[in-house]
Structure 1
Amino acid sequence: LLQAISQATISQSVTSQTVAQLMQQITQASKRTSDSSLAVAGNLKNTVEVARQLESVVDQFKVNSEAE
């Protein structure tokens, strides 16, 4: 009985260590995902700004069809 308890304790300890490692990996993956999301948001903001600038430049070349 003592040997079975000892083996069960060792097994639970190994399982706990594995769970802790997996949780650490999940935390790291979550941080990478968060960092990537922030980078995407920043890039989208820059894209919107470039689109606005482009629209402003293109507006200078529009011809008013009512004036013809």
Structure 2
Amino acid sequence: MTVGLSRIYMKNLWWFDAMVLQRALGNTIERTEAWDRVQDRLGLFFIACGVFLLIYNAFLGML
């Protein structure tokens, strides 16, 4: 869930990492609105997976 929240709220950090990697590979990239939306979706996906795992483990703990 922490990774998901960081994807949403720390987009500048993730953008810097992607930019450094692409520059090292010899590519130039631009930050777009589509890239921001993808980061939001990935963040929500990771948060949902974390919530699912919390509920799943809580349910298994009751058995």
Residue 38 of structure 2, aligned match among 2, 15, 19: 19
How many percent identity over aligned positions? Answer: 14
Structure 1 position 31, deviation (Å):
0.2
How big is the alpha-carbon RMSD for the aligned residues of Structure 1 and Structure 2?
2.0
Aligned residue pairs total: 35
Matching of residue 35 in structure 1 with residue 24 in structure 2: no
Where does the alignment leave 5 or more consecutive residues of structure 1 unmatched?
A: 1-8, 45-68
Which structure has the bigger radius of gyration? 1
What is the distance in 2 between the residues matched to 1:43 and 1:32? 17
Q: TM-score if structure 2 supplies the norm length?
A: 0.50
TM-score relative to the length of structure 1? 0.47
Q: Which has the higher contact order (CA 8 A, sep 6+)?
A: 2
Q: Distance in 1 between matches of 2:35 and 2:62?
A: 40
